[in-house]
Amino acid sequence: MDGTQWSSGADEARAQLTAALTAVGRGDRAALRQVYDMTAAKLFGICLRICGERASAEDVLQTVYIKVWERAGQFDAARASPITWLATIARNGAIDWRRSVSGRTVRDTLPEQAAFAVADDSPLADQSLVAAEEGEQLHRCLGELEDRTRLCIRAAFFDGSTYAELATRENVPLGTMKSWIRRGLLRLKDCLGDG
Amino acid sequence: MDDHLTPTEERDALAAELALGLLEGQTRADALRLSLSDPAFAAQVAAWEAKLAPLHDEWADAQPGAAVWSGIERQLADAPTDKVTAIEMRLRRWRAGALLSGAVAAALAFVLITQPVPTPTPAAPQLAVARIESDAAGPLVLARYNQSNGLMQLRIHGFEPGTLAPELWVIPEGGTPVSLGQIGHAGEAEMTMPPPHRLLMTEGATLAITMEPVSKTPHPAPSSVAVASGKIITI
């Protein structure tokens, strides 16, 4: 699975993934392997970035695909793109781990700011797994926020940072950080419009 | 710093915080519980996940080791035996049953749906009832609980059979969800509640149902949002 494969036939890839995920929902194990082959690199990227080290990220990734197996019957292609549905499960799984006792223990032993390759603030013109228009609108609206607010929201999304971690990082009181982000999120919502 | 958010904005900000993963500790537990008991809040969280979804384009790919897939396969290979045991266990705990007769169920539905509530005779054992439902025309479970002997009876409608099973939770006001075990997809079921759980069946507590992986034992915490919920009313 690589980026070029997606960009050369994004719609076709999406349709294939939707079909495979739907088959998983019917209990088709071969289809789960297909979903894994199509998405493991993407979902592992998510787990690795948020967990911060390979062994834990691999454990989390395993539980993510078990959840996919168990929940695929609930996937509704009319409501979400398959890759968004999968990425959300992976990100939530990694954040659950990071908030757990074992996650916090492991994280405490990691060097600060472990270097992983997602830029702090650089929207990529990427592989259109997600509808391009929605992406443009979100990036435009994020761009209207104050720089520090946008960077903190991005850090929360990509690093799985908590309010407390962001406040420490920016060296501001917790209340200030909450206020920045809450106001930023509500402005973001206004900009995106309801729906 | 006081931002003077309206209650509506406050609730929406909480949904955004949960979707973004900013919360930890008790605040996170409270927000997760709210998303379980309140389908409207759960929908707000999902809406925020959808708003932020374009960011998923930006993750850098990374290759997991081959052990990950073998681990998944191993877990799946264990699954069928688990499922059979789980069903047996479930049947043992929740006897699909004749005891909630059609007439009783009809009377229960009458109590739940119509006004006024019939005056209970003083000698009658105290009953608690709940109508566990979703906003949409989704699943519906009618629950009837006899406080004198701990017998809980259910009438279950409208769950799609699939890889997940409906699991029933009781959520005390201001407390965390406690599993009452998995129930069937349709029909009637009953269970004598273990004494510690009886204390939770009070007026104002919420009964909720989430779809969970089939398990022979009740889960310690829900893994997904409630598909149906309702308040307990004592009569």
Q: What is the pLDDT, as a whole number, of residue A194? A: 56
Residues A83, B55: C-beta atoms closer than 8 Å: no
Q: How would you write A3-64 as a 3-class SS string?
A: HHHHHHCHHHHHHHHHHHHHHHHCCCHHHHHHHHHHHHHHHHHHHHHHHCCHHHHHHHHHHH
| pLDDT one-digit tens code per residue, B108-147 | 444 444 434 444 444 444 788 888 888 667 788 888 888 8
pLDDT of A65: 96
Residue B180 lies in a domain: yes
Do B136 and B189 fall within a single domain? yes
Q: What residues of chain B, 190 to 219, have a C-beta less than 8 Å from chain A?
A: 211, 213
Residue B31 lies in a domain: yes
**Interface predicted TM-score (ipTM) of this complex, two decimals:** 0.86
Q: Taking the mean position of all CA atoms in its chain, how far away is CA B84?
A: 22
Determine whether the interchain pair A2/B72 forms a contact, defined as Cβ–Cβ distance below 8 Å.
no
In a domain, B76, yes or no: no
Assigned domain for B2 exists? no
Q: Identify whether residues B33 and B129 lie together within a single domain.
A: no
Report all structural domains of chain A as residue ranges with CATH numbers, in order of start. 1-123 (1.10.1740.10), 131-195 (1.10.10.10)
Rounded to whole angstroms, what are the CA distances from B73 to A29, A64, A166, B77? 9, 13, 38, 6
Encode pLDDT of A102-145 as tens digits.
777 777 777 654 444 344 444 444 444 445 667 889 999 999 99
B62–A138 C-beta distance less than 8 A: no
The neighbouring-strand residues paired with B228 are B209
Same domain, B94 and B143: yes
Q: Is the domain of B188 the same as that of B228?
A: yes
Neighbouring C-alpha atoms within 13 Å toward the C-beta of A128: 14
**Residue B30 sits in which domain range?**
7-54
Same domain, B21 and B136: no
Shared-domain flag, residues B170 and B103: yes
In this structure, the answer to whether residues B128 and B207 fall within a common structural domain is yes
Are the beta carbons of A123 and A139 closer than 8 angstroms?
A: yes
Residue in B68, B211, B224 closest to A62 by CB? B68
Per-residue pLDDT tens for B153-168? 888 888 887 788 899 9
Report the half-sphere exposure of A194 (CA within 13 A, side-chain side).
2
Out of B9, B13, B163, closest to residue A27 by CB: B163
* Domains held by chain B: number: 2
B192 Cβ neighbours under 8 A, 6+ residues apart: B149, B150, B151, B152
Same domain, B36 and B94: no
- Residues B26, B92, single domain; the answer is no
Q: Name the CA dihedral angle for A75, A79, A82, A87, rounded to a multiple of 10 degrees.
A: -90
Same domain for B104 and B190: yes
